Structure 1
Amino acid sequence: AFIDDPVRLLRAARVAADMHFHLHPATRELLLQQRELLANASRERVRDELLRLLLAPQAAGICLAQDLGLLQIALAPLTATELAGGIALLGALLEHLREPTIQRLSLQWSQAYTTGHTRGQMVALAALVSQGSTEHVRVALASLRLSDRERSRVLDVLGSWGSPSWQEYAHIDPLTAHRYYRRWGSGGADGAALVAVGHGTSASGVAAAERMLGFWLDHQAQVIAPQPLLTGRELVQDLGLAPGAQVGETLRILTEHQVQGLISSPGEALALARRLVSEFTTRQV
């Protein structure tokens, strides 16, 4: 059966975990003997079966696939050591799903891409490959034939999770949170969730991640994406700016002042914009 359809090797690990039964020794031996067949299977089907494994509420299926040597084939060239570290982070995430902050964020993980895969699967995949070298992760993700949006999501989660800033944040204020999410978007929330579960992270890093998640969950309109006080068109019309980089930079500064509570009305925003334009013009002279 495995010769005819090597993807059944991964499926066997998933079904065994889902049904909570142990593999018969003869079946286990057969899986071990024929696991290399998985390298010849359709990459799209391997990807889909792997992502189904990641849907499980526990990491038992992934652990079994690792024990059988299937993950190293499905996610080559990631090493067994790299995958073991990723499984540990994934397990920590799954263990924390009932904690209030992670649970609230996980409600967003059912969001689906046009492929039918979910944001939650991309978070789990990011955790699974998180301990790999940059090159190993790049090659492994490319081999899975993810969509551009899915691959970008995984990379954003990994980038935000791996930021050295978590160990440096003494205090996360609205401006810090705004800049973080402007850089990483919702992938930054998922990356913060991986930090917040505490696997290999200091207590201060966990606290910083939890506060960052609090901004994402509770302050979208005030901090993450506030309603602009002025539009680019208004800047062009009222201040005579030419469309381009200066308009974008002015809008960015206005938003940052708004997030900090330094301006709160279109009039205040326009006055600040005039001053910024005047300062820019003076520097150009």
Structure 2
Amino acid sequence: MRTTAGHVDKEAVFALLPHWLRRHLADLSRQMGGELYLAGGVVRDLLRGSVPQDIDLAVDSGARIWAGKLAVLTGGTYVALGRDEDAARVVSRKRIVDFASFRQGARTIAEELVRRDLTVNAMAIRLDPLLRLPEADGPSEVPLLDPTGGRDDLEQGLIRVASRESFTSDPLRLLRVFRFAATLGFAVEAGTLELIRRQRALLALSAPERVAHELDLIMATDNSHAVFVQMADIGLLWEILPELKAGIGMEQPRSHHLDVWQHNLETLRWMEQILQAPEQWLAEGGERLMTYLRSPQQCRRLRWAALLHDLGKPATHAVRADKGDRITFYNHDRVGAELFREVALRLRWSGEDRERVAHLIEGHMHPFHLANVARDGKLTLRASIRMVRKAGTDLPGLFLLALADSLAGQGEERIEGMEAELAGLYRRLEQVRVEHVEPVQTAPPLLTGRDLIEGLGLRPGPMFKRILGAVEEARMEGRLTDTDEALQLAREMAAGPLARAAQDRGKS
């Protein structure tokens, strides 16, 4: 135990607690008796000079009673937290106040703090004496309770476990270490890393959705690459994503300089850099690009797609003797998307997140294929329209992913200027989208399912989607402009299936 003496500025504490809340907490403290503490992340944030999002309070017992009474006093909303914890939340006047009783049988605040996850989250300030004083009275500083040396670690930028029993108490803390390292930009202390390495198998005891939540919080930061490197180095990552381990040491074609695993990591590193200044890479992206990236969820999905974009390569790896022992990964994009869906189901991702990332993985080679065609001067309007339609709202994301993928491959046989080609192709496709695709998608359709039923006597089925899609595409290309032309195309498309059906009926 590394106890550190220290104090906290009283004005910072009062600034956190508005006058109405201090008054009600003082009344509640007199009613309930016992000790009341600011504890955990709220103290960490105060010491860092940042504004805490929530107010975390600790009491020796009866946290839900405290919360219930505060909700009545303030007219706020009461929410019980957790099934097995004595904890509750009060939401009042846009403030969130969380109460929690001492955990795991702790009898004192010092014992309770030592049972927390990390030293930087194991500090407290006693509030009840402070609340009874007029704001102008008393000392300018209040004592900091710091039984594990969290303030020193905070000043040194270190993440350290509060005790050797931290991970056995809650295995999810194995990941929380890296989440706080990522969000705070801190380094993980060597002894903590070694303890994680030895106890990493405990993570299997944590609920998959809790694991996924911690991973998402890591992936939402600009430090995800460094953290995933560390998690891999000590073996923790393979407890969660063993599919990635298959890429270690797997050689790639000469356009790459890294094995499959290191290339995945490098793509994530480049994605982090690109997302910091995306307009420098896709200068023509404009407002649409920035709107696409305005969602934190979308940036998180792009980072996931970068790390997992080549998930299908180990399963599709082959060496072609008939092509001079050339290494190939045919259909790795499609296979990778299916493997990713299995991973996402295992981690209980939401359906939207699962399909959006799968869409990016499945389409990540399309910009390269189209760039090859454009380089030969053979890119048609039809191919451009099909790419825009297939990519949908993820067109900017697919090109950002392609840029990161390209930058991560620096082998001898890489195509020079590939990033410039991708940026030029994106500009061209955006022009196609604006001039050809969007006007048709926002206009009334030339043909509907009812037209196919009433005008051509067709019965609803999978063919409807193919016909209506072909009509829309032909309209985007300018090959038809009115309903009569659309019906003629539909009639021609339906003739083949209808003739075969009639022939089949004649044989029966």
TM above 0.5, yes or no, is yes
Relative to structure 1, is the Cα distance of residues 278 and 84 closer, same or farther in structure 2, using a 3 angstrom cutoff? closer
Are the aligned partners of 2:385 and 2:433 in contact in 1 as well (CA < 8 Å)? no
1:39 lines up with 2:246 in the alignment: no
Q: Of 353, 360, 368, which residue of structure 2 is paired with 1:157?
A: 360
Q: CA deviation at 1:259?
A: 1.3
Q: Secondary structure at the match of 1:146?
A: coil
The structure richer in strand per residue is 2
1:87 lines up with 2:265 in the alignment: yes
1:180 lines up with 2:346 in the alignment: no
Q: Secondary structure at the match of 1:57?
A: coil
Q: CA deviation at 1:280?
A: 7.4
Relative to structure 1, is the Cα distance of residues 139 and 18 closer, same or farther in structure 2, using a 3 angstrom cutoff? same
- The unaligned stretches of length 5 or more in structure 2 are 1-165, 249-259, 315-334, 504-508
* TM-score normalized with structure 2 length: 0.47
Query: 2:463 and 2:209 mapped to 1: Cα distance?
Result: 44
Relative to structure 1, is the Cα distance of residues 29 and 241 closer, same or farther in structure 2, using a 3 angstrom cutoff? closer
Query: 2:309 and 2:463 mapped to 1: Cα distance?
Result: 38
Query: Match for 1:15: what amino acid?
Result: F
Query: 2:431 and 2:172 mapped to 1: Cα distance?
Result: 39
* Count of paired positions: 280
Q: Of 222, 230, 255, which residue of structure 1 is paired with 2:436?
A: 222
1:74 lines up with 2:281 in the alignment: no
Q: Provide the aligned C-alpha RMSD in A.
A: 3.5
Q: CA deviation at 1:236?
A: 2.7
Q: CA deviation at 1:127?
A: 1.6
Q: CA deviation at 1:72?
A: 1.6
**2:215: which partner in 1?**
50
1:65 lines up with 2:231 in the alignment: yes
1:250 lines up with 2:429 in the alignment: no
Deviations 1:158-181 (A, max 9, x none): 111145735643254442233235
Query: 1:14 and 1:129 mapped to 2: Cα distance?
Result: 19
Q: Of 481, 490, 494, which residue of structure 2 is paired with 1:264?
A: 481
Q: CA deviation at 1:60?
A: 2.9
Q: CA deviation at 1:194?
A: 0.9
Relative to structure 1, is the Cα distance of residues 264 and 124 closer, same or farther in structure 2, using a 3 angstrom cutoff? same
Relative to structure 1, is the Cα distance of residues 231 and 208 closer, same or farther in structure 2, using a 3 angstrom cutoff? farther
Q: CA deviation at 1:15?
A: 1.4
Greater alpha carbon shift after TM alignment, 201-210 vs 52-61: 201-210
The structure richer in helix per residue is 1
Deviations 1:65-118 (A, max 9, x none): 333332222212421735433221111112112132378536325558xxxxx3
Greater alpha carbon shift after TM alignment, 31-40 vs 218-227: 218-227
User: Higher RCO, 1 or 2 (CA under 8 Å, sep at least 6)?
Assistant: 1
Q: CA deviation at 1:56?
A: 0.6
Radius of gyration: which is bigger?
Answer: 2
- The unaligned stretches of length 5 or more in structure 1 are 113-117
Query: Match for 2:476: what amino acid?
Result: V
